Amino acid sequence: MTSGRILDRLDAMEKVEGSLPRLLEFYRKLIQIQTRVGRELNKPNPGLSAEAIHQRTAEGKALITASNFTYDLRLLQGTFRETAALFGEYADLFNSTSEEFSKLAETDLTPDSIEAWYNGEPLPYSGEVNQTLLKELIHAAIKPFLVSYTSVLIDSVEQERWRRGHCPICGGNPDFSFLEKENGARWLLCSRCDTEWLFQRLKCPYCDNTDQQTLSYYTSDEGMYRLYVCDNCKHYLKAIDLRNPGANALIPLERLLTLEIDAQARDYGYSPCE
């Protein structure tokens, strides 16, 4: 399991360095919560026949949407409170305060709010709620629930036929990518559920731009990383090139080990796709 390997890697890094940077310390605790909750979940049954999966793939529809995503609201609410407390301990990483997270932790999640989150719509809470942080908290709490669907459905994804800019399982946007070791094919990583899917090498997943005049990439000094940028939508996507002998294949962890590339992208005038 990837999360187990990530935890091992973080422990090894801590041994070598003496301590972990705060961000990685936070991340390790978050993965521990998500892994534990993941173990408590029953295997979901999405009720999709092979024919339905084939049909959805042809139509570019993700396999799980807000309408067939089922979850235990009580467990989700409990996970949400626990992650909010963790975020509160590391509030400085999010330019916030522990008080703000304590307030957010009291939010009552409802089927409506989960549906709005799922669809990327404004959350149905009025007042001075910080929507960005609340979405981030829901994301952290809901992840093990989404991942349980991924583990059931990943083998049914028709990779060669999908090749869309959004996740074939949950419909989320990619926030990282990698070039395959064997043939350099590009795979995207879902920001919500960590599903990996095959995508074109020179196409923007955010706006479907294929005009080579407005697409480019920068390569890091050692050739290990790439920064793909699109001048049509002004979004960027990071990648690790697994053909590089030094590249480590713990892809979800690479998101956090490459924050200097995010800074570089912002300097160049590009933003991440939310």
Chain residues that interact with Zn ion, rule: CB under 5 A: 167, 169-170, 172, 190, 192-193, 195, 204, 206-207, 209, 230, 232-233
Residue type, 186: R
Give me the phi and psi of 83, to 5 degrees please. Answer: -70, -35
> From the CB of 197, what's the least distance to Zn ion, in Å?
9
> From the CB of 252, what's the least distance to Zn ion, in Å?
12
Q: Which is nearer to Zn ion, 96 or 173 (CB)?
A: 173
Residue identified by tokens 């990698």 is 178
Residue 245: CB partners within 8 Å, gap ≥ 6? none
Q: Which is nearer to Zn ion, 80 or 270 (CB)?
A: 270
The CA distance from 226 to 248, in Å, is 14
SS3 235: strand
> From the CB of 234, what's the least distance to Zn ion, in Å?
7
Length of the chain: 274
Measure the CA dihedral 26/13/34/188, to 10°: 100
The CA distance from 153 to 149, in Å, is 6
Enumerate helices (H) and strands (E) in the chain, giving the number of each: 10, 6
Q: Which is nearer to Zn ion, 148 or 195 (CB)?
A: 195
> From the CB of 33, what's the least distance to Zn ion, in Å?
19
Q: Which is nearer to Zn ion, 89 or 231 (CB)?
A: 231
Q: Which is nearer to Zn ion, 88 or 168 (CB)?
A: 168
DSSP E strands, the chain: 174-179, 186-190, 196-199, 215-219, 225-230, 236-241
SS3 168: coil
Q: Which is nearer to Zn ion, 26 or 206 (CB)?
A: 206
> From the CB of 232, what's the least distance to Zn ion, in Å?
5
Residue 211: CB partners within 8 Å, gap ≥ 6? 232
> From the CB of 109, what's the least distance to Zn ion, in Å?
20
